[in-house]
Amino acid sequence: MSRGIARSTRAPCRRAGGHRGAAAAALLVATLLLPAPRLSAEAAPPRVPDAWEYVAMSPEQRHELRERVRLLPQAPRRAFDRALMEQVRSLPDWLYEALSNERVAVDCAAGRMGQEALPPPPELSARQYLERVPHQRYHFRLRARALPPQERQGYEARLAAELSTLAPWLQRALAEEAAREDARYGPVLCPAAP
């Protein structure tokens, strides 16, 4: 190594105070190599991805995004959920249902669903009920099962009255779908591990 290079590499340490300067430089380098601290969800709410950006994410990335959103205060969390739902509802039904199934599976595996109380099911007209994908209708039935007995009976009676306005063949198709989905996924959202 030439003397000029050696002198130029030692000079900053000498000017910074010898060994103390070298220690400070090493600390600075170590600090720069550390991962940046994660901002709290309140300080940096996530950007709502558009529908196809959301599809392009991995299941783990979508789960991490949901976990970040769960840390937000109620108002921004609801705003984010509404905006994301608008994006995801623009996808084809089969893809929307696949994402819904994935969310349930990942959240159940993470133990998330069992910790949260299910929200009450929405009051829907027969047309609104039909516009939902089968997995959403399954979720509404699960949420109705979680209601206190009298509320559950009232909700199921109101929904049955709405569905009675549909054609008989459509009522039969919905009943068959309900039996099929209940057999496939079970009567509870996250069954206990065997």
Q: What is the pLDDT of residues 92-126, one digit of tens each?
A: 878 887 887 787 777 767 666 554 556 678 888 99
Q: How many Cβ atoms from other residues are within 10 Å of residue 111's Cβ?
A: 9
Phi then psi dihedrals of residue 57, to 5 deg: -70, 155
Residue-level pLDDT at 28: 39
Dmax over Cα atoms in the chain, in whole Å?
A: 95
Residue-level pLDDT at 7: 45
- DSSP labels, 31-76: HHHSPPPPPPTTTSPPPPPPHHHHHHS-HHHHHHHHHHHHTS-HHH
* Averaged pLDDT score across all residues of the chain: 74
Q: What pTM did the predictor assign?
A: 0.51
Q: Which tokens sit at 170?
A: 């459509």
Burial call 5-32: b when 16+ CB within 10 Å, e when fewer:
eeeeeeeebeeeeeeeeeeeeeeeeeee
Nearest to 147 by CA among 117, 177, 189: 117
Q: What is the pLDDT of residues 24-70, one digit of tens each?
A: 444 433 434 444 434 444 456 789 999 999 999 998 899 899 889 98
Residues 190 and 113 sit within 8 Å (Cβ to Cβ): yes
Say how far apart CA 129 and CA 134 lie, in whole Å: 10
Task: Give the residue-averaged pLDDT of 180-191.
Answer: 73
